[in-house]
Amino acid sequence: MVAIAPVTPAASIDPPVVREIGRADLYWALREGWSDFREKRGDLVLAALLYPVVMLVVAGVTLGGALFPLMLPLLAGLSLLGPLVAVGFYELARRREEGRDARWVHFLDPFRRSSATQIAALGTFLGLLFFAWIGVAWTIYHATLGTLQPADPATFLGLLFTTREGWELILFGNLAGFAFAAITLVTTVVSFPLLVDRPVDFVLAVQTSLRAARRNPVEIAIWGLIVAVLLAIASIPLFMGLAVVLPVLGYASWHLYTRLVDRGV
């Protein structure tokens, strides 16, 4: 008897076709994201509050301790995990788009399907990227302001803006942070929504995301800037604004995906 190999997710469909989009598509995605949020904001605001609570815990743990120089890198690094957190919002936006029931109970549906292992694999990649960023940030600190051995947060902040080492930390830290944010953006802008939408493996999903970014470099860069600005604004009032911004961006990212990828529907 001849054994038949199981069909893998990647082998079950052709590579998705990516489209060229314009700036109007970015604004349309944001409007649709806001519309989704307005309809589903009740229990999802409560769920989204978990993210700012985590931010506050991280700030509280690092503030005043030896890890204080890592507080900002840790807080910024948590945004690298945002696309994984948004998977549930992608699912709800997809169900609402199809006219299906999109209640809170469906938030974790992607993790109950066969695509769960692929989502987990891509999430592991983001986790490794997060730890790599923290390692780079710690190295930059030790090579710059760490040489002055600030003893407390007040001294750290004083040296940060009044010494050459402090400005080097700001410069190289921001450059490194930009690089990690760009990697996250181009590898996940399409990949996570695609894994929620279709039975593909995470390698094909990332390849599709990279192709979409190459075809639309300006629009993807603008989208990344929009996301960064909204997250920064939402973080100012003790991160509480993230309870609104995160769901909106999650829904909007799904709608942007539907413009970037030809879904054949």
Query: Tell me: the pLDDT tens digits for 198-255?
Result: 999 999 999 999 999 999 999 999 999 999 999 888 888 777 777 788 889 999 999 9
The pTM assigned to this predicted structure is 0.85
CA distance 128 to 134: 10
pLDDT score of 232: 87
Query: Tell me: the pLDDT tens digits for 94-104?
Result: 888 887 876 77
183 and 129 in contact (C-beta within 8 Å)? yes
Q: How confident is the model at residue 4 (pLDDT cuts 50, 70, 90)?
A: very low
pLDDT score of 45: 55
Give per-residue burial for 82-112: e unless 16+ CB within 10 Å, then b.
Answer: bbbbbbbbbbbbbebbeeeebeeebbebbee
| pLDDT tops 70 at residue 30 | yes
Q: What is the DSSP string of the chain?
A: ----PPPPGGGGSPPPEE----HHHHHHHHHHHHHHHHHHHHHHHHHHTHHHHHHHHHHHHHTTSTTGGGHHHHHHHHGGGHHHHTHHHHHHHHHHHTT----GGGTTGGGGSTTHHHHHHHHHHHHHHHHHHHHHHHHHHHHTGGGG---SHHHHHHHHHHSHHHHHHHHHHHHHHHHHHHHHHHHHTTHHHHHHHS---HHHHHHHHHHHHHHSHHHHHHHHHHHHHHHHHHHTTTTTTHHHHHHHHHHHHHHHHHHHEE---
Task: Please say whether the dihedral angle defined by the alpha carbons of residues 184, 26, 194 and 98, taken in this order, is positive or negative.
Answer: positive
pLDDT score of 48: 56
Q: How confident is the model at residue 1 (pLDDT cuts 50, 70, 90)?
A: very low
Copy the structure tokens of residue 235: 């973080």
Query: Tell me: the pLDDT tens digits for 142-175?
Result: 999 988 888 777 888 889 899 999 999 999 999 9
pLDDT score of 164: 94
| pLDDT tops 80 at residue 135 | yes
The residue ranking higher by pLDDT, 20 or 13, is 20
pLDDT score of 70: 80
pLDDT score of 39: 81
Query: Tell me: the pLDDT tens digits for 58-99?
Result: 666 666 666 778 888 888 888 888 898 889 889 988 888 887
